[in-house]
Amino acid sequence: MLESLQAVTERAMSSSGSSMGARNKLSSGFGADDAERALLQRACEGDKQSFCLLVQPYEAVLYVTATALTSTDGDAEDLAQQAVLTAFLKLPEFNCDNAFRTWLIEITIGEARHRAKGDSVSVVDQTRHAETEYLPENAAPWLNIPIEALEGERFRDMLRSALRSLPANYREVFVLRDVHKLGVAETARILSLSEPEVRSRLSGARLRMRDALAYKYVNGSGGNTLERRVS
Amino acid sequence: MSMRCENVRREISNYIDGVIGAAQRQNMDDHFKSCKHCTAVLEGMRNVISLAGDSRAHKVPAGFSNRLFSKLSPHATAERSPSPTDEIPIGITGDSVALGSHLIYFWESQAEFERGVRFVESGLQRHEHCILFGHDEALDRASQVLRSSGFSPEQLVRNRELTVLRRHASAEITLSDIEAVVEAAVRAGSPAVRFLGNLGMGRSPLPAGEDDVIQLEERVTAVISRFPCVVVCMYDVRTLPGRLIVKGGLQTHRLAVCDEGLRENPYYIPELHSAHRIHHVQ
């Protein structure tokens, strides 16, 4: 009986729900699923098609990580592509007991740091911010930004700009903890920090993000808009 | 003694994460009751955390997926023909066709069937990923033709140069399979993908019906327009009813492979495809 890529593809689809639906999930874990292990096994042997199928459900994870760690969309794409290549080359080092999603995030962080060091592209801003205390600029009553704001391109742009306005070392912590929901211990391991350092940077990052997004969400006749709030 | 605002704000992040002691939490709760400024910081931070962690906040832009594997391609194609071209030889006749073409080939005799399989043989020689698709009998028969031409289908499948795709009774499932395989092959660096489809009625597994076949043909055209792919559909005229030959065969393929060469098909109806696409976008 002929084996085929179809069998592999089908397993990949059934294990991640529908292939299309799974692509945009940020929170799907890898797990010890047999189908994914089979893909992993083939990919480790150098099969690029299996590797592509393995990575596809995590495209959104790669996108958001790379976007947060770079200054421009072009750099973000380049970083994500480099991370995919590095992941492919390092795949035999991947330990099946760990989450593949976390491993991809870790590879992307490593690539971003590597680039910042080499300064080959204007990727991550070089200012590793001094660990000074940050206190909120704006303590006016907070007007809730509803989750529906995320449906609009404009607010998503604002969120991306806010993230990119953070010093690089704060960005890393915020992305791992609040975007990807990794635990403090895992974040500390990936970033080679102590847990108190993670908590302290996260606090600074969250306060800065809050100030950067102190907008008033207005539901007006011309559609939903966001206005800068006056302190 | 109430806490100072400065000390409260320093701990709000830890308060949200639940990593402070019970006594301190109590002090902060007391403080929030009387301090609207610190409450505003707490509410804003909670709001921002929930927004940033929502998958809708990070919409993957169009085309990102297709470019994501681009750095892998040189590794995949290093040993292959240097530049993919916009046209590929079909192998059945001496003609070449543009990528994205969808061709019809009617066959009756064993010799005609073997000739159709040359489309795949030509692709395998050029290191283009090939897909054999159809009912069980056609797949076995095409595999035998490949063997008699000196290919090892089993080895080709193991090397990911060939995919043997069995049709499902439902066009919907079949189509998502086709799309996934073509996409994976292209991402892995194949310069072009060849798809040899086989259609015969009364063969296992059966299509759900004639409309199902027509739907599949129309949608295959839409799928391949997005990939560097050429499709040849082999119609077994011994078993197919006339209506299907007209509706599924003649009206949905722009080009026909004839004995004397490739021909523009005068029975092709382009509107069928555009109407169908609009329907699916909605």
Q: Tens digit of pLDDT for each residue in A163-202?
A: 999 998 899 999 999 999 999 999 999 999 999 999 999 9
CB atoms A52 and B12 under 8 Å: no
Say which of B43, B164, B187 has its CB closest to residue A52. Answer: B187
- A 149-188 → B contacts, CB under 8 A: 149-151, 156, 159, 163, 174, 178-179, 181, 184
Digit-coded pLDDT (tens) for B124-135: 988 899 999 988
Residue with more model confidence, A36 or B194? B194
For the segment B247-271, the average pLDDT, to the nearest whole number, is 86
The whole-number pLDDT of residue A150 equals: 86
Q: Which of A59-63, A64-68, B83-87, B189-193 has the lowest mean pLDDT?
A: B83-87
Tell which residue, A198, A209, A176, A180, has the closest CA to residue B44: A209
Percent of chain B with pLDDT strictly greater than 90? 38
List the end-to-end C-alpha distance of chain A, in Å, as a whole number: 71
The whole-number pLDDT of residue A173 equals: 97
**Has residue B85 got a pLDDT over 60?**
no
- What is the rounded average pLDDT for all residues in chain B? 83
Tell which residue, B101, B79, B77, has the closest CA to residue B88: B101
Instruction: Work out the pLDDT band at A223, boundaries 50, 70, 90.
Output: very low
The whole-number pLDDT of residue A202 equals: 96
- A 27-66 → B contacts, CB under 8 A: 27, 47-49, 51-53, 55-56, 59-60, 62-64
- Of these ranges, A214-218, B51-55, B256-260, the one predicted with the greatest mean pLDDT is B51-55
The whole-number pLDDT of residue A11 equals: 39
CA distance A83 to A89: 10
**Has residue B41 got a pLDDT over 90?**
yes
- B 13-72 → A contacts, CB under 8 A: 13-14, 16-17, 19, 36-38, 40-41, 43-45, 47-61, 64-65, 67-72
The whole-number pLDDT of residue B1 equals: 53
**Has residue A121 got a pLDDT over 70?**
no
The whole-number pLDDT of residue B72 equals: 79
**Residue B196 DSSP SS3:** strand
Adjacent-strand bridge partners of A226: A217
The whole-number pLDDT of residue B276 equals: 41
Please check whether residue B122 is in contact with residue B257, taking contact to mean a CB–CB distance below 8 angstroms.
Answer: no
**Residue A89 DSSP SS3:** helix
Which runs of E-coded beta strand occur in chain B?
87-89, 96-98, 102-107, 129-134, 162-166, 193-199, 229-236, 255-258, 261-264
- What is the rounded average pLDDT for all residues in chain A? 76
CB atoms A27 and B55 under 8 Å: yes
Residue A23 forms contact with B (CB below 8 Å)? yes
- B 165-224 → A contacts, CB under 8 A: 165-166, 176-177, 180-181, 184-185, 187-189
The whole-number pLDDT of residue B92 equals: 92
> What is the nearest CA distance from A138 to chain B, expressed in angstroms?
8
For the segment B260-281, the average pLDDT, to the nearest whole number, is 64
Say which of B47, B52, B184 has its CB closest to residue A179. Answer: B52
> What is the nearest CA distance from B264 to chain A, expressed in angstroms?
32
For the segment A137-141, the average pLDDT, to the nearest whole number, is 74
Please check whether residue A83 is in contact with residue A104, taking contact to mean a CB–CB distance below 8 angstroms.
Answer: yes
Mutate which: A1, A2, A3, A174, vs B, most B CBs within 10 A = A2
Q: Where are the alpha helices (DSSP H) in chain A?
A: 5-15, 19-23, 34-44, 48-55, 59-68, 73-90, 100-118, 153-164, 168-174, 184-191, 195-212
For the segment A49-53, the average pLDDT, to the nearest whole number, is 84
For the segment B27-52, the average pLDDT, to the nearest whole number, is 94
pTM of the model: 0.55
CA distance A215 to A210: 9
Q: How many residues does chain A have?
A: 231
Taking CA atoms, B57 is separated from A164, A208, B174, B278, in Å, by 14, 18, 33, 29
Digit-coded pLDDT (tens) for B199-218: 876 665 656 567 777 778 87
- Distant-in-sequence, close-in-space partners of B218: CB < 8 Å, separation ≥ 6: B252, B272, B273, B276
